[in-house]
Structure 1
């Protein structure tokens, strides 16, 4: 009887699955498919690797009563016009079963994949996905065999994801209209019921979404259609959403009207009784954020820290408090999280007070309280990174970044903590941009929103300084390098993330502030010893892993294997935005850069500068403008020890000078005693360059690359 019931259940599930599969197939390839016989592509695109005949994106947000169902799909029908395209589409990966992570349930989601090939003689071959797909790790892979140049490939992915939630902010969708291949026809369809609030718009000349009026008024459909879309190029130093036709949307679900408020919503809500919002105004910013920020927190840890301390200015006080708060409400949490993640023990019960300012909002609220309590004037600044486009085009709430501006004699900007944030510096993508400012009345209440312009930095602020001492080993089989590097400004943070590890800044913080370590709070001495032993073992394991990662990173920097590297952090740079990260490195370069030529030696000295940008032919002509992360300068000094009994020749080629309005590359080489000293500077002057200046940038980049290829000759005397 149990077997029969199990069999009946299996047959029912199989029938449901088959019905869904057939309905989905019909949706894309059924009678309504107007592109099913389309095989021709325009003559103007005959030299393209592939041409997309039809691209369809589908998004459906449905409240089915007990659960929410999010459906997304994409279909592409494209012609393969060279071998690169054939190779590109010869394999697909997908996960056909998964558990939804959207709500607080664990409902199963499904992915349906269909693919067919239309040969040049018109024969259609539909791939049996269930039969051909092979399970590999957590996903399925399928090889599309017998593809040839000239074939049409037509495929779709359809994802069905049910979940349970009372309210939910879905991930934003931000895409360029174009593809890496030209597109003949494109359609985007977004369907949402009344319980879903839609932020939606298109930009930079993309067609506007049109609302489709259907029979069911509670269902809204928005459609964008476009034709004859040229392929997108995505060159280096380019922000697609600034220049290319694109579209953005984000959906918020609220099961009842009580959740359709800024207390819960993480999007900009439309006007009352509407469900669509396409623009965000200064008033919208005020409405959203006035509800989010009010002074709150417990100042006792900061008050204890400040007791007995005197400062020359409010600026000094703010910097000191920011660094202590980073220790108290971030660094200690990181230590606790590492202990818990390693299953050593559960440490959070040892904290009496708040241990973690768990969001940007909590960070802002805490510093509002501190500044109010200390009668220091401040504002809240809201901006969006340059990569997102103009402030006037802001739509996606999560693209907003928030700062506290402390109105001291020289204003200090504070951003939400991470391990390496500094008081006074902030995300470079916000620099030199228009932003909103929320004015605070009497340090208590947000009264209005206005506009401001955020400050910028220059190449003098963002500097990498490297001194490399290079010598030959005793048997002339390798180059020994000692390198001292200092990283200032925005260079510092990326290098800190790579070179300064949690055990470095934990020890530094506890030493600086004299606070009690988490492991010392454990009451039992026996358990203390046990936990410390386990934590030390974890640190040693991570250190070994980091040594390998450092060796790999250094080898990638030079583009060949580096032997026996040693890294020492001299100054973490974590206390003061003007304080650099300082590192010392020692390593050997074997079987590279040094070649015997009779009794002489050739040294590829230029490669000590490490890998430089090589501009290929495709990059010489550029249609797009240039968007740099920030102005910056690289200063390198190479000090090469000339071996006894040898002279050096070929240094004239090491002297270069290309300087223009976009930046520069200069190098100067001189021999002083037994040292060849080469001073090198590469500099980018601006955040933005028009494409008309691209040739100027190329000129100094090519000079830098040429320098990296230069050699010197050590001649036997």
Structure 2
């Protein structure tokens, strides 16, 4: 036995040594290739990267992109393709915000998919700092720290320690990709804009003529200059002096900023109609994209069968039991129940072989939208309820007249009623009547059944409905008293969240143990998985493991609520004595999410002689602060959705004190785009404040920006509002 163990140990040593040697060889190969790429990129003779001067008019900008260049090449054989993408950028650092932005780089040094046809990606980072006196300092990328170092995923983080305000940072990322089998290149999008001004933006592509280059120029973007030589198609573009745009604040770049989308396709792709070598297809016809998307829907719909629908027997049983218990159920009732049944079976139900996951992480589980809708459609057809598929593009994606790829479309399901139900899914808590905010108000095409009626492949067109501010509301009701020492605010709070605003709160605050039980009962499932496990000799220990996991999740729950309070008021609660969920908002019939908290805050009351100053404005939490560069806006406003925030605050006035300054708090800023209203009154020793902020629409023309600014400024100013508690 000792000999056998010694032999095994020796084999392990040899194996480990071989693995270490292979890794060392791979690292050496990467380092050698990285040095080659850095020498090549730093040696580019592009004039824009030799410029060291920024116009004086831009000195107040946080940062200035002095040069940005994207270089792309694609080549390869039938079963192996190679793709290289280099993005190089040179930025002048004008303030601390820009300094912080560029003080660290996170990148994926290596990745390899484990699909049937592998894709391998290797990235090389190069960084150098150009000082005001012209001195150039190269940053050693070998100093990057590994954040993950798996065999198929190597993540790195590189700190730029010597970067200072006034410096220029010149950096690039090179991605080399190898695709095997039938994998295709991912499309590119070149957005000719940034939240910083850009002095020079250039693009160069070299694509082997065995590929067809499709591209679309949108929103006034210029066209490429084309050259063909030696079996390669070259495209070039140069744009100068691009002004800064508020890219990070309520914009849809793909609809508002000049851009070019590019896609590379095999020349023998039948959908292209037989193009010749070196073909460049500019602004392809949108009806062909819609036609391809329609065929995909119809093909997927007709291809769905008993074999491809998961847990079909369980779904049929749940629906049969529901119809038996609700004999007067309408088709719409059955549609919504089937929706929740599939959601329950896919995300809520627990099987013995499942990984134990009961903490907040489970709340972020998602479903594949298209597969979910195909399953639901199949089940509804089996229940003699016909539905139609809908093709829609996001307001953060291309307009219907600018689509380029079938993947530009998202799918939804539509019932055939006078007041149709539009159906989609996002995650654990999406209701059956849910339309994602990015699709609200968008023009859509309806794919009717398995037979196409019109040449463009669509039977009908429809505009998706939009929600109102009242449907997307957060309502805070607070009862507040001061402690005996006049230092703490004791707050009893009930929060009601509606519509699109509730999803984040549900994900962060709900406990699986509780919402599983509620939805199990909604589905008419009589026995919980805990009871089933407890009654099973094989799985009895699992019941104990889940009980322990539930106990830990519940123990952590208080800290989660503490985090919610701190995130809302920007103050760490002194004590949290009560917290919980009163309404979960799991289904459309009871859509509101409601939770309660009781806690104390310090730091909002300050002594002033015999009197006290109350920071009343802090009770509505943090407010949006506009950067100076965001105040003058010339582009339309794409907000997530119409919404409102309402606060009903009762403050018990301490005995022997009166309130002064209430008249200064009251205001009514009401515009066509938004409003901010504050009302207050003192009655019977109680101060009541009613505050409401409303964004009336999801979209505003640029001309309305001033109206929005008035409300944003009013809400921000209210944060500094104070009341005097004066000794009587």
TM-score range, shorter chain: 0.7 to 0.9
CA distance in 2, matches of 1:613, 1:62: 48
CA displacement at 1:221 relative to structure 2: 4.4
Q: 2:222 aligns with which of 202, 207, 217?
A: 207
Partner of 2:297: 289
CA distance in 2, matches of 1:404, 1:7: 53
Contact 1:489/1:578 (<8 A) preserved: no
Listed as ranges, the gaps of 5+ residues in structure 1 are: 262-268, 343-355
CA distance in 1, matches of 2:47, 2:139: 21
Partner of 1:339: 356
Q: 2:392 aligns with which of 383, 404, 429?
A: 383
Mapped pair 1:693 → 2:710: no
Q: 2:563 aligns with which of 543, 549, 552?
A: 552
Q: 2:334 aligns with which of 307, 312, 317?
A: 317
Partner of 2:193: 178
* Further displaced range: 525-534 or 167-176: 167-176
Partner of 1:488: 498
Change (3 A) 1:495 1:197: farther
CA distance in 1, matches of 2:134, 2:452: 73
Question: Mapping of 1:30-109 within 5 angstroms?
Answer: 30=43, 33=46, 37-42=50-55, 45=58, 48=61, 50-63=63-76, 67-78=80-91, 89=102, 92-94=105-107, 96=109, 98-101=110-113, 103-104=115-116, 109=121
Contact 2:298/2:450 (<8 A) preserved: no
Contact 1:606/1:708 (<8 A) preserved: yes
Contact 2:291/2:457 (<8 A) preserved: no
Q: 2:695 aligns with which of 674, 684, 692?
A: 684
Q: 1:582 aligns with which of 594, 599, 607?
A: 594
Q: 1:427 aligns with which of 417, 436, 439?
A: 436
CA distance in 2, matches of 1:603, 1:520: 52
CA displacement at 1:414 relative to structure 2: 1.2
Change (3 A) 1:613 1:83: closer
Partner of 1:351: none
Partner of 2:489: 479
Q: 1:508 aligns with which of 481, 493, 518?
A: 518
CA distance in 2, matches of 1:78, 1:228: 14
Mapped pair 1:394 → 2:403: yes
Partner of 2:177: 161
CA displacement at 1:252 relative to structure 2: 6.4
Contact 2:367/2:425 (<8 A) preserved: no
Change (3 A) 1:247 1:447: closer
Listed as ranges, the gaps of 5+ residues in structure 2 are: 1-13, 149-154, 360-364
Q: 1:628 aligns with which of 632, 639, 663?
A: 639
Question: Mapping of 1:297-316 within 5 angstroms?
Answer: 297=309, 298=312, 300-308=316-324, 309-316=326-333
Contact 1:167/1:252 (<8 A) preserved: no
Mapped pair 1:671 → 2:682: yes
SS state at 1:643 partner: coil
CA distance in 2, matches of 1:6, 1:406: 58
CA distance in 1, matches of 2:122, 2:319: 54
Count of residue pairs the alignment pairs up:
683
* Further displaced range: 238-247 or 25-34: 25-34
Partner of 1:110: 122
Partner of 1:602: 613
Question: Mapping of 1:521-540 within 5 angstroms?
Answer: 525-540=536-551
Question: Mapping of 1:164-243 within 5 angstroms?
Answer: 164=180, 166-168=181-183, 170-193=185-208, 200-216=215-231, 219-243=232-256
CA displacement at 1:74 relative to structure 2: 1.5
CA displacement at 1:413 relative to structure 2: 1.2
CA distance in 2, matches of 1:422, 1:8: 54
Per-residue CA deviations over 1:50-71 (Å, capped at 9, x if unaligned) read 5444322133344356644332
Across the aligned residues of Structure 1 and Structure 2, the Cα RMSD in angstroms comes to 3.9
CA distance in 2, matches of 1:661, 1:291: 46
Change (3 A) 1:106 1:546: farther
Question: Mapping of 1:331-480 within 5 angstroms?
Answer: 331-332=348-349, 337-339=354-356, 359-416=368-425, 418-440=427-449, 448-480=458-490
Partner of 1:353: none
Contact 2:293/2:407 (<8 A) preserved: no
Contact 1:486/1:580 (<8 A) preserved: yes
Partner of 2:582: 570
CA distance in 1, matches of 2:348, 2:342: 9
CA distance in 2, matches of 1:227, 1:492: 43
Per the normalisation by structure 1, the TM-score is 0.83
Change (3 A) 1:602 1:57: same
Change (3 A) 1:338 1:547: farther
Contact 2:393/2:400 (<8 A) preserved: yes
Partner of 1:641: 652
